[in-house]
Amino acid sequence: MSLLSVKNLQVTFNTEAGLVEAVRGVSFELGRERLGIVGESGSGKTMTGRAVLRLIRPPGRIMADAMTFDGQDLMAASEAQMRALRGRRIAMVMQDPKFSLNPVMRVGAQLMEGLRQRDHVSRAVAYAKAVAALDAVQIRDVDRVMEAYPHELSGGMGQRVMIAMMLIPNPDLLIADEPTSALDVTVQAEVLSILDALVRDRGMGLIFISHDLRLVARFCDRVLVMYKGRIVEEIAAKDLLHARHPYTQGLLNCLPRIGGTRGPLPGLDRNAEWAM
């Protein structure tokens, strides 16, 4: 049985300028695997991720024929039931750790807060678990990081702390929304391989949202390509280079390459029938 099943998901925003359809009928199934969602900004990839957690604020509205997580109907769940799911069974890592960590709280305290409040464990146990979590994301000087405030950490370090924090309750599903795009390329590779190993070892489901096709290709099992709120192509990651859909091909071809020709980069044809 699949872990997450989404059928005909729609997200709309009723604004002054009229109705904005951010997601228009997205359906997918997710097992304990790594699913990538790629698309440009405004393609609805982030909204899809947030809609699974029902984290869309008014005037946004979520509609779906069905959205079930491990047998539980997410559309019918109460706000209290959703709160119990969020963080504990479905975790989310955001783009920039600067905005996701509390700036006036030490990292250690933030890591232990959830454990102490949710699971009512003792201070010592919580501390040990927090240290273990930081170890798992390969932070070497754990003691310093535990005592540090978020602004004292580098971007890559902050994002590792975020991942550690999300993984403490051992969730079944991790939604990572552009988890590395605020990081330098060399750090990016490190963080990704850590995330990869954790997901593999713990048998989690992963939804990896990114604008970077190349990153997703290397890192996921299956890829959904989104455009204007719709899925235009679903493809195994290893076949991505041989994608058939013109949009996916366009996304790949428009990237410059080291040692490539100097000619104009091929643009994306947004007027074809699939874009309607």
Partner 1 sequence: MGDVMALIEIENLSVTFNANGRRVRAVEAVSLKVGEKASFGLVGESGSGKSTILRAICGLAPVSAGRIRIGGEAVQSPRGKAFSAQVQMVFQDPYASLHPRHTVDRTLSEPLAIHGIGDRDARVMTALTDVGLPTSFRFRYPHQLSGGQRQRVAIARALMLKPQILLLDEPTSALDASVQAEVLNLLMRLREERGLTFLMVSHDLAVIDHMCDRVLVMQNGRAVEELSRTALASAQMQTDYARSLFAASADRMLEG
To partner 1, the closest distance from the beta carbon of 179 in angstroms equals 15
260 is a site residue for partner 1 (CB under 8 A):
yes
Window of 63-71, 77-85, 111-119, 215-223 that interacts with partner 1 by CB under 8 A: 215-223
Among residues 113 and 190, whose Cβ is nearest to partner 1?
190
To partner 1, the closest distance from the beta carbon of 17 in angstroms equals 10
Distance of alpha carbon 144 from alpha carbon 33, whole angstroms: 34
275 is a site residue for partner 1 (CB under 8 A):
no
To partner 1, the closest distance from the beta carbon of 102 in angstroms equals 22
Choose, by CB under 8 A, the member of 185, 201, 273, 276 that binds partner 1. Answer: 185
Window of 60-68, 69-77, 82-90, 250-258 that interacts with partner 1 by CB under 8 A: 250-258
Among residues 140 and 257, whose Cβ is nearest to partner 1?
257
Window of 91-99, 132-140, 168-176, 264-272 that interacts with partner 1 by CB under 8 A: 264-272
To partner 1, the closest distance from the beta carbon of 20 in angstroms equals 14
- Write out the residues near partner 1 by the rule CB under 8 A: 40-42, 155, 184-189, 211-215, 217-218, 241, 250-251, 254-260, 262, 264-268
